[in-house]
């Protein structure tokens, strides 16, 4: 509509403290941005949470936005980074379950939205796991990350690392054993919701 201010003008107003201007930005972009995020995470609750996180990050970084560039592209990049972070956290959870042989069946998963307390506990457990993975010897860490987090087959990871598929399999096995020794089952119970 011709009477509506451009995104660039709204950003300038929001940077000057006009909260209504940022509200107008959110109303203008929330529909397409939610659909964009949903295509990446395929879960309504997760998509809604990531939409909120994207707008919070956009608000925090608004002063760095270049008004000569398209706002939608800038906002899409923020949302994509949030989706990637979400995917990474989920990959770490799956890796943790696989490392320790802990699995939940599809029917046994809790489909209710996580509480803030359970999210905080999950984030603490993820931090422990990420720290333990970072402390692995490089050759074990590379094999584990490529296969369990990046989805490479042992053969493809071996080609990437310049070693055989069997060597990758051995390194992943040893990495899992080291992680299991460092991380007790109770350390990861927060990740899977077990007491």
Both 11 and 86 in a single domain? Answer: yes
Is 49 inside a domain boundary?
A: yes
Local confidence band at 106 (pLDDT 50, 70, 90 cut-offs): very low
> What are the tens digits of pLDDT across the range 27-80?
999 999 999 999 888 789 999 999 999 999 999 999 999 988 899 989 999 998
DSSP string, 63-100: GG--TTS-HHHHHHHHHHHHHHHHHHHHHHHHHHHHHT
> What are the tens digits of pLDDT across the range 173-191?
998 888 888 876 545 544 4
Q: Domain range for residue 16?
A: 7-95
CATH of the domain at 67: 1.10.1740.10
Is 139 inside a domain boundary?
A: yes
- Compute CA 171 distance to the chain's CA centroid, rounded to the nearest angstrom: 26
Last residue of a domain, one of 28, 62, 95: 95
- How many domains is the chain built from? 2
Last residue of a domain, one of 64, 95, 126: 95
160, containing H or E segment? helix 154-161
Q: What is the DSSP letter of 178?
A: H
* 162: alpha, beta or left? (left if phi > 0; alpha if psi -120 to 50): left
CATH of the domain at 143: 1.10.10.10
Distance of alpha carbon 13 from alpha carbon 20, whole angstroms: 9
Both 66 and 37 in a single domain? Answer: yes
Both 132 and 175 in a single domain? Answer: yes
Is 18 inside a domain boundary?
A: yes
Burial category of 11 from C-beta neighbours within 10 Å (exposed 0-12, middle 13-18, buried 19 and up)? buried
């Amino acid at each position: 509509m011709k009477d509506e201010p451009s995104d660039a003008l709204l950003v300038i107003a929001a940077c000057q403290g006009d909260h209504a201007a940022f509200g107008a930005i959110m109303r203008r972009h929330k529909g397409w941005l939610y659909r964009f995020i949903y295509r990446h995470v395929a879960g309504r609750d997760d998509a809604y949470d990531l939409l909120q996180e994207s707008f919070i990050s956009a608000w925090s970084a608004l002063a760095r936005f270049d008004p000569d560039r398209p706002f939608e592209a800038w906002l899409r990049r923020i949302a994509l980074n949030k989706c990637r972070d979400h995917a990474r956290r989920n990959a770490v959870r799956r890796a943790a379950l696989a490392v320790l042989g802990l699995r939940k069946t599809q029917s046994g998963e809790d489909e209710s939205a996580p509480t803030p307390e359970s999210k905080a506990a999950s984030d603490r457990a993820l931090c422990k796991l990420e720290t333990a993975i970072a402390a692995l010897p490089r050759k074990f860490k590379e094999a584990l990350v490529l296969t369990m987090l990046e989805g490479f087959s042992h053969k493809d990871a071996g080609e990437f690392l310049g070693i055989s598929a069997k060597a990758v399999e051995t390194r992943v096995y040893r990495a899992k054993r080291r992680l299991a020794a460092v991380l007790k089952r109770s350390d990861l119970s927060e990740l899977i919701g077990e007491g």
